[in-house]
Amino acid sequence: MTAKRSKVLAEAARSFNGAAGTAPATRKLSYAQAIAQGLHQAMELSQDVILLGQLVDYTPAVFGTTTGLIERFGPDRVLDFPVAESVMTAAGMGAALTGMRPVLIHHRLDFMLYSMDNVVNWLSLWRFKSNDESRVPVTIRAIVGKGWGQGPQHSKSLHAWFAHLPGLRVAVPATAFDAKGLLLESIFGEDPTIIIEHRSLFTLQDDVPEAPYRVRFGKAVVRRRGGDLTLAAIGFMVPLALKVAARLAERSVEVEVIDLRTVTPLDTATVVQSVSRTGRLAVADPAWRSVGVAAEVIASVSEQCGRQLKADPVRICYPDSHTPMSSALENVYYPDEEALAAKLLSLVR
Amino acid sequence: MGRLSHQSILAAGRYKSLSLSGISPEVVKSLHRFMLRLRRCEEALAQEYHPADEMRCPVHFCIGQEAVPAALSVLLARDDYLFSHHRSHGYYLAKEAPMTAMFAELYGKATGANGGRAGSQDISYASVNFHSGAILAGATAIAVGAALSIKSRGESRVAVAGFGESATDEGIFWEAVSYAAFRKLPVVFVCENNNYSVFSPQLKRQAGDNISERVATFGMKSMPLFGNDVVLVYNALKSAIEDARAGRGPCLVEAYTYRWSGHYGPASDDLVGYRSEDEVKAWKENCPIGLLDEAMIAGGLLSEAGRAALLKEIDAEIAEAFRFAKSSPFPKAGDWEAMNYASSSPVADALLADIDMEAFDAHQAMVQAKGY
């Protein structure tokens, strides 16, 4: 049954590759639904895929991202795990070592921090220290809250931390299409991967192909063309960037919006290419301002085409402060359309 | 002698209870040969470590702690998993990984078990499912994951985690025990209780020296025993491993033992004053190899000539391992990225469509999701 089903799915995948020019069959799915579909297909495609996380088998289904999996695959493959993130991560890694492809889920990235010993001291360096003899393809989904008083323990987007470590791949998908494609690419890849999911994106809809497909790591995408300035954005900053770009276009400022998609590997080439045309760079990074991915992007661009910059590059980030609960403070803490627009206009004036 | 502890063992003095009854002579000879080989190996490495200074990595010698690895060497099959702490050499050899590659790894050579990337405290040999790591308790939980996979696939393999009593200072050890007991996983925990976290004794760090009792409250079988009696260790691990294979759940074997050398390196660190000369002497009198030698000679399983022949054979193997390690080339610095990431993804290539859609309905950006 499963072998047959997986053959059908793999066939569907291959037919995509062969059908150049024809549009793939797609459905409108939300970001959360696209993740659920990706997980469903991954578990159909391979018995090795198992799911570990708290409450993954209850109807809220981790904000609708694991819907239907327990009914289809049962409790041996969809494991409601105790509130013990460190052993959960180590167990996922041990299972991966034996050939499994586990997906770990954290409702809040903040809880994942219990597992830092495994992530930093074991998972990230396992391939390296085994001299390539051993691999641990673990996929970790870490969800980040924003707004409605999530406060300092439910809202940290630590993609820069993980990006700093060799041996991990780190994705921050901004669209439903990418959420599914990067998830499948992570599960069936060979390296441990952390996918940071911004929960404020979960209701965003997109055209999502029915078949299992991949989105490659290290390949940024230009979401909107423009010749006046380059805006590289990450995660939930991408829809914000597109909104602001549309507004600025009405004032004849054409913003090129690049969705970085993954921060390890980081596709600086696409940004450099754009900046060499526009001469202006802004980076919208949903994280603290200092020592983050925004700084890394600006440094890389400066190294490669710094002399082509016509204006000082800018960062649009959070203040170097923990997240407040009160909406009055939240509204100031998170960059909004006005703040982003003002920063971008400062570049072209 | 009441409840077993480091104090009770010292109070009892010279151990006289090692018995060869009920164990096959072949197994006894294997245990003996393994312990002797490990001891000679460690002594030879210690000899070469300083002042030559060609092995430029931290080495935690396991002289005095040969019994647990010896028992595992007889009991584990190639496809079983073994995870070890930083005092790794005995466990490495227990999985029958080659001595030559171990020596070359210590010398940082390209022919080392890990091409010189890992060294003594992080050495692994993936093809025999042997792995180690220096961060105390982390590997106990990884073993639980291997066991989870073994159970879900309905295999009869087993995962074994070896660690010291200091690992039980760490929280993740208890998470690992709790989950393994709850899921009845095929994992065996082997605690080599040598009493010291570097210099600090267990009762200076924990409220009680009763790890086995505490583990039992999680619903897991536990067996504390005198860990320098290799026959006791073998019998306990045999039953634990058989239980795990048969799906009867996990077990802890707590083997009270002692390291002769300092925490790291071949030199004594007794000058620090954390343990007495008398204590070291008492444990040396209860040497795991000496105790077995005595019983084997008494039982007619070993002669002086036989022992000498065995040592000659072992020493030749050790000499060859040194020759191999010293004459091997150093690794060349290459592509750092390729050393840390996979260069291909064959499974994704086979299963996933390679499409890309740059288009994103920008109108969606207007549907700003609400917070959370």
Q: Could you report the per-residue pLDDT of A309-348, keeping only the tens digit for each? A: 999 999 999 999 999 999 999 999 999 999 999 999 999 9
Nearest CA-CA distance, residue B148 and chain A, Å: 7
Among A330, A335, A275, which residue's Cα sits nearest to residue A306? A275
Q: Could you report the per-residue pLDDT of A219-275, keeping only the tens digit for each? A: 999 999 999 999 999 999 999 999 999 999 999 999 999 999 999 999 999 999 999
Cis peptide before B250 (omega within 30 of 0): no
Whether B372 is in a domain gets the answer no
For residue B142, give the nearest of A94, A167, A169 by CB distance: A94
Residues of chain A found within 8 Å of residue B361, distances taken between Cβ atoms: 205-207
What DSSP string runs through A205-266?
A: EEEEESS-B---TT--EEEE--SSEEEEE-TTHHHHHHHHHHHHHTTT--EEEEE--EEETB
* Strand-pair category, A255-259 with A221-224: antiparallel
pLDDT at A157 over 60: yes
Weakly modelled stretches of chain B, pLDDT under 50: 1, 365-366
Q: Are residues B218 and B175 in contact, defined by beta-carbon separation less than 8 angstroms? A: no
Distance between CA atoms of residues B263 and A190, nearest Å:
37
Whether B226 is in a domain gets the answer yes
Structural domain that includes position B68: 6-366
Whether B208 is in a domain gets the answer yes
Q: If pLDDT is split at 50, 70 and 90, which confidence band does A18 have?
A: very low
Whether B157 is in a domain gets the answer yes
Share of chain A above pLDDT 70, in %: 94
Provide ipTM, 2 decimals.
0.94
Residues of chain A found within 8 Å of residue B362, distances taken between Cβ atoms: 223-224, 242, 246
Mean pLDDT, all residues of chain B: 95
pLDDT at A207 over 50: yes
Catalytic-role residue among A154, A159, A164, A322 = A154
Distance between CA atoms of residues B97 and B78, nearest Å:
10
Lowest mean pLDDT among A13-27, A165-179, A290-304: A13-27
pLDDT at A142 over 90: yes
Sheet of A281-288, strand order? A221-224, A255-259, A229-233, A281-288, A314-318
Q: If pLDDT is split at 50, 70 and 90, which confidence band does A4 have?
A: low
Q: Could you report the per-residue pLDDT of B1-38, keeping only the tens digit for each? A: 479 999 999 999 999 999 999 999 999 999 999 999 99
Q: If pLDDT is split at 50, 70 and 90, which confidence band does A16 have?
A: low
Q: Which fold has domain A221-348?
A: Rossmann fold (3.40.50)
Q: What is the CATH number of the domain that holds B31?
A: 3.40.50.970
Whether residue A218 lies within 8 A of chain B, CB to CB, comes out as no
Q: Could you report the per-residue pLDDT of A71-102, keeping only the tens digit for each? A: 999 999 999 999 999 999 999 999 999 999 99
Q: Please, which residues bridge with residue B182 across strands?
A: none
The mean pLDDT value for A176-186 works out to 97
What DSSP string runs through A63-123?
A: HHTSTTHHHHH-TTTEEE--S-HHHHHHHHHHHHHTT-EEEEEESSHHHHGGGHIIIIIII
pLDDT at A22 over 90: no
Q: What's the total number of domains in chain B?
A: 1
Distance between CA atoms of residues B192 and B212, nearest Å:
12
Q: What is the dihedral of CA A19, A25, A30, A36, to 10 degrees?
A: -80
Q: Please, which residues bridge with residue B251 across strands?
A: B188, B221
Distance between CA atoms of residues A196 and A171, nearest Å:
6
Distance of CA B358 to the CA centre of its chain: 51
Q: Could you report the per-residue pLDDT of B53-103, keeping only the tens digit for each? A: 999 999 999 999 999 999 999 999 999 999 999 999 999 999 999 999 999
Concerning whether A322 is annotated as a catalytic residue, the answer is: no
> CA separation (Å) from B355 to A28, A271, B14, B177, B211?
17, 22, 73, 45, 55
For residue B355, give the nearest of A50, A94, A209 by CB distance: A209
**Total residues belonging to chain A:** 349
Looking at residue B154, its pLDDT comes to 96
From A177, which residue of chain B is nearest by alpha-carbon distance? B357
Mean pLDDT, all residues of chain A: 94
For residue B138, give the nearest of A9, A90, A127 by CB distance: A90
Whether residue A202 lies within 8 A of chain B, CB to CB, comes out as yes
Domain range summary for chain A, segments of one domain joined by +? 2-209, 221-348
pLDDT at A21 over 80: no
Most B CBs within 10 Å: which of A130, A143, A157, A216, as the mutation test of the B interface?
A130
Q: Could you name the CATH architecture of A2-209?
A: 3-Layer(aba) Sandwich (3.40)
Among B268, B316, B310, B273, which residue's Cα sits nearest to residue B293? B310
